[in-house]
Amino acid sequence: MSTPTAPDESASTGPDETRLRLRAFLDAQFTVLLVVCLLIAAVGGGIVYTTHVEPGTETQTRTVSSWTVETGYTHSAEVTEPSPVFSIGDELTNRSTYFATIAPELDVAAEVVYAADSAEDVDVAVDSELVVRNVGEEGVVYWQQREAVDSTTAEDVAPGETVSSPFTLNSTAIDERVLTIDERLGASPGETETFVVTDVELTGTLNGENVTYTRSVEFGVSHEGATYTVSDPGVQSDSDEQQVTETVERTYGPLRGIGGPGLLIVGLLGVVGLGYGRYEGILDVSEAERAYLSYRDDRSEFDEWITRVRLPPEVYDRPEAHTEGLRDLVDFAIDNDAGVVEDPNTGAYHAVSGEFVYTYRPPLAPGRGAADAEDAAGSPLDGDDASGDREPAETDAGLFSGSLLGGGSDGGDDASDAAADADGSDTGDGPDEER
């Protein structure tokens, strides 16, 4: 029996096998992939339609104009008495603390200014009132006295024009008033507060709309013997925006604008590619190719059960049984406590149990030529001559001992004699018919 030469496995595990597996995957999942491509194309088409063809409309609110009103105070005190550090006539401006002995009178001006894109018939009224009161815990007012200190009205005020309402606070006179009230009441159970309340009213047409604006601001004065401290609230600002609501065409970002056509193109290319591949038979996988892929999967799965060993020629003289697949051979070897051997000479897989050798010959890689197939099926062993006499390629008996081949050291000779008797031929003749 001649032994075939093993096919070149390195050629079967490279790009050719990768392409074969890709074709097998595309063939098996053709319907699923086609549906996915159609869905991608549909989604891309929908995005393209809603983005570029019929984007729809949306409601937007935008500011067309605005106006602002600001209210604040300026204050100063003129030195009226001589002192080591100030001269008479010096003006102390916008301080937090003033000296009641040398500058008892505080000149205050409430100022109002507004800004608008357009204005008509704008009138501004500023009324300031001095409030002196005694307040207890939780805001209980024990007594209160109010006195108007200024009232100013300005008409046809233009945007940016400042309306000023000046008044003067005499800290000494305010102190005397508080003492007089305390003496007449006999007691002041709470804390005495002094402040000016300024009420601002602006009316007119701002940016084409009739506006009535009101605001109250407080300017505090605290008496502390020889000094008095002011509490300036700073500039108080109020503004209003005039907005319009309009319907505009909806706009989208660049990701949607590019992503939609991209999905549509990818989906259509996938559909066309799959359809062309199926129509031309490019994706078809033959039974031989499926068998080869099945063998390669089994070879990878059972790699730990398989040993590469160069078998002696005597093994091929045993009666030979064939399995349909590598998996069947491995299962048989496991059940019979035998090893599975891959012969590098032939590429075949063997398991020896008893007097038989069980063999699985893998399919050739798809695409290998007829010359390869003929060479794999009929090339002689190393050392064969023309008459068919065989010389062993390896004579190291250590490779074939133990349970790997499932027999003793002389099992190969006995099996050869038994096979010769069964065929009715003389063992001295030429090689047995190839199995």
Query: Can you give the pLDDT at residue 367?
Result: 65
pLDDT, residue 124, reads 96
Quick one: pLDDT at residue 420? Answer: 36
How much is the pLDDT for 372?
52
Nearest residue to 106 via CA among 75, 127, 81: 75
pLDDT at 78: 94
Q: Which three-class secondary structure state does DSSP give residue 276?
A: helix
Amino acid 419 reads: A
CB of 385 within 8 A of CB of 376?
A: no
pLDDT at position 386 is: 34
Taking the C-alpha atoms of residue 362 and residue 343, their distance in angstroms, rounded to an integer, is: 12
- What is the side-by-side strand order in the sheet with 191-206? 97-99, 227-231, 209-224, 191-206, 119-135, 141-154
Structure tokens at 337: 């406590």
Q: What are the DSSP E strand ranges found in 11-140?
A: 57-78, 91-93, 97-99, 105-116, 119-135
Burial of 358 (0-12, 13-18, 19+ CB in 10 A): buried
Reduce the DSSP state of residue 285 to 3 states and report it.
coil
- Each residue's pLDDT tens digit, 285-338: 888 888 888 899 988 888 988 988 887 888 778 898 998 889 999 999 998 888
- What pLDDT does 113 receive? 96
Rounded to whole angstroms, the Cα distance separating 349 from 329 reads: 8
Q: Token digits for 241?
A: 């925006």
Non-local CB neighbours of 108 within 8 Å, separated by 6+ positions:
73, 74, 75, 166, 167, 168, 169, 196, 219
Q: Residue 369: what pLDDT?
A: 45
What are the tokens at 350? 């063997």
**272 CB contacts (<8 Å, ≥6 apart)?**
none
Domains of the chain (ranges, CATH numbers):
64-247 (2.60.40), 295-423 (no CATH)
- The upper half-sphere exposure of residue 339, i.e. CA atoms within 13 Å in the direction of its Cβ, equals 19
pLDDT (tens, 9 = 90+) of the chain, 435 residues, equals 444 445 445 444 566 888 888 888 888 888 999 999 999 999 999 888 888 888 888 888 877 778 999 999 999 999 999 999 999 999 999 999 999 999 999 999 999 999 998 899 999 999 999 999 999 888 899 999 999 999 999 999 999 999 999 999 998 888 888 888 888 888 778 888 999 999 999 999 998 889 999 999 999 999 887 899 999 999 999 988 877 787 887 888 888 888 889 999 999 999 999 999 888 888 888 888 888 888 999 888 889 889 888 878 887 788 989 988 899 999 999 988 888 999 888 889 998 888 888 999 998 877 654 445 445 444 433 434 333 333 333 333 333 333 334 433 333 344 334 333 434 333 333 333 333
Structure-token pair, residue 90: 């010096």
CA atoms within 13 A on the CB side of 359: 19
| Helix (H/G/I), strand (E/B), else coil: 228 | strand
* pLDDT value of residue 284: 86
Rg (CA), the chain: 54
Tokens 């030195």 label which residue?
Answer: 79
What residues form DSSP beta bridges with 67? 116, 240
Tell me the C-alpha to C-alpha distance, in Å, between residue 65 and each of 116, 161, 168, 215: 8, 19, 38, 21
Give per-residue pLDDT as tens, 357-411.
Answer: 899 999 887 765 444 544 544 443 343 433 333 333 333 333 333 333 443 333 3
Q: For position 402, what pLDDT does the model report? A: 35
Q: Which residues of 371-383 are buried (b: 16+ CB within 10 A; e: fewer)?
A: ebeeebeebebee
Q: How far apart are CA 80 and CA 88, in angstroms?
A: 5
The SS3 assignment for 234 reads coil
Which string of DSSP letters, residue by residue, matches 326-368?
HHHHHHHHHHTT--EEE-TTT--EEEEETTEEEEE-PPPPTT-
Distances (CA, A) of 51 to 61, 212, 247, 264, 274: 22, 46, 17, 13, 28
